[in-house]
C-alpha cells in the first residue's frame, strides 16, 4: 500500500462524492434508516451489492482490462437511470481531480464520463496501487459517503457514525478479497432492487439535499 490509497479513499478528495448520499436520503424518508442500527444494516446491504460490484469493476480496471468493455458491464449492472447518472457524475469528478493528481496515459483509455468504479480503478493504477487496493477503496467508498450523509441528515452523533463505519471493516475487507478470488474475469453482479427503487423515487423529489 502507498499513501495514494489514503488520498483516493479520503472524503476530502474533491471528486464530488459529497453531493451523493448513496440512497440514504431516500432510505431516511422511507423510514428505513432511523438510528445507528438501521444505518448499519443499510450500509451493509449497500456494501455487499453495489459495493461488491464497484470493487470488482475497480479491481478489473486497475488490472488493465478493456475500459469501454468494463464501462458497458457497469451499465448492465446499474439498470437504474438515477444510479447510472450518479455513478457517471462521480466518475467524471474523479477523472478531473485524478488526472491532475496522478498524471498518466492510462486516463486516455477511459470513455467520456465513465462509471465511478471504472475511473477509480484507473486512478488506482495511475497512483501505483494494486487491484486489491482499488477494490478496497471502492468497497470503502460505497459506505463512507452514505454514512456521512446519514449523519448530516439525521443530525447523528459523529462518533457513533464513525464507529458504525469502522465496525464494517471486516465486511469491507471481505468484499475486496472476494472480487480477487473470483474465477478469471468474473465480475460480481449483486444487486438490491430496494436501492433501485429508492434511487428512482428520490430522483423525482424536488426537496432533496443530495443528488442521489
Partner 1 sequence: MRTRVEVVARRGPGGRTVLPVVRGSGQLAVRRTGPSAVHLVATAFGPLGGDDAEIRLVVEEGAVLAVRSVAAAVALPARDGDRPSVQRVLAEVAGELDLRMEPTVVARGAHHRAGLTAELAAGAVLTATEQVLLGRTGEEPGRWTGTTRVVADGRPLVHTTVGLGPGAPAWLPPVAPRAYASTVHVGQAAGVLTAGDAVRLPLDTGWVATAWGAELHTVVRAVEAVA
Segment contacting partner 1 by CB under 8 A, of 10-18, 58-66, 68-76, 162-170: 68-76
Pick the closest to residue 53 from 194, 186, 202, 197 (CA basis). 186
Least spacing, CB of residue 84 vs partner 1, in Å: 10
Pairwise CA distance, residues 47 & 171, whole Å: 8
136 in Cβ contact with 56 (< 8 Å): no
Choice from 19, 38, 104, 130 touching partner 1 (CB under 8 A): 38
Q: Which residues contact 151 (CB under 8 A, 6 or more apart)?
A: 158, 161
120 in Cβ contact with 94 (< 8 Å): yes
CA distances from 131 to 1, 55, 137, 171 (A): 11, 9, 10, 18
Segment contacting partner 1 by CB under 8 A, of 4-12, 42-50, 97-105, 106-114: 42-50
Q: Which residues contact 6 (CB under 8 A, 6 or more apart)?
A: none
Choice from 20, 77, 88, 116 touching partner 1 (CB under 8 A): 77
Q: Does 71 bind partner 1 (CB under 8 A)?
A: no
Q: For residue 59, which phi and psi values (nearest 5 degrees)?
A: -60, -45
Q: Does 196 bind partner 1 (CB under 8 A)?
A: yes
Q: Does 201 bind partner 1 (CB under 8 A)?
A: yes
Least spacing, CB of residue 167 vs partner 1, in Å: 15
Q: Does 148 bind partner 1 (CB under 8 A)?
A: no
Q: Does 173 bind partner 1 (CB under 8 A)?
A: no
Pick the closest to residue 142 from 22, 8, 56, 14 (CA basis). 22
Q: Does 80 bind partner 1 (CB under 8 A)?
A: yes
Binding site for partner 1 (CB under 8 A): 32, 38, 41, 44-45, 48-49, 72-73, 75-77, 79-81, 188-194, 196-197, 200-201, 204
Amino acid at each position: 500500500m502507498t499513501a495514494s490509497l489514503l488520498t483516493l479513499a479520503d472524503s476530502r478528495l474533491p471528486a464530488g462524492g459529497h453531493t451523493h448520499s448513496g440512497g440514504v436520503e431516500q432510505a431516511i424518508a422511507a423510514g428505513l434508516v432511523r438510528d445507528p442500527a438501521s444505518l448499519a444494516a443499510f450500509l451493509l446491504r449497500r456494501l455487499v451489492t453495489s459495493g461488491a460490484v464497484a470493487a470488482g469493476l475497480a479491481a478489473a480496471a486497475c488490472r488493465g482490462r478493456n475500459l469501454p468493455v468494463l464501462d458497458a458491464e457497469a451499465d448492465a449492472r446499474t439498470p437504474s437511470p438515477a444510479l447510472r447518472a450518479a455513478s457517471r457524475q462521480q466518475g467524471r469528478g474523479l477523472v478531473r481531480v485524478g488526472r491532475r493528481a496522478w498524471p498518466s496515459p492510462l486516463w486516455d483509455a477511459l470513455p467520456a464520463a465513465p462509471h465511478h468504479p471504472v475511473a477509480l480503478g484507473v486512478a488506482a493504477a495511475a497512483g501505483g496501487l494494486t487491484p486489491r487496493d482499488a477494490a478496497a477503496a471502492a468497497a470503502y467508498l460505497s459506505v463512507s459517503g452514505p454514512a456521512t450523509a446519514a449523519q448530516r441528515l439525521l443530525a447523528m452523533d459523529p462518533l457513533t457514525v464513525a464507529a458504525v463505519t469502522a465496525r464494517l471493516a471486516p465486511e469491507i475487507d471481505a468484499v475486496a478479497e472476494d472480487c480477487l478470488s473470483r474465477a478469471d474475469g468474473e465480475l460480481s453482479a449483486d444487486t438490491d432492487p430496494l436501492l433501485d427503487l429508492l434511487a428512482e423515487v428520490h430522483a423525482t423529489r424536488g426537496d432533496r439535499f443530495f443528488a442521489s
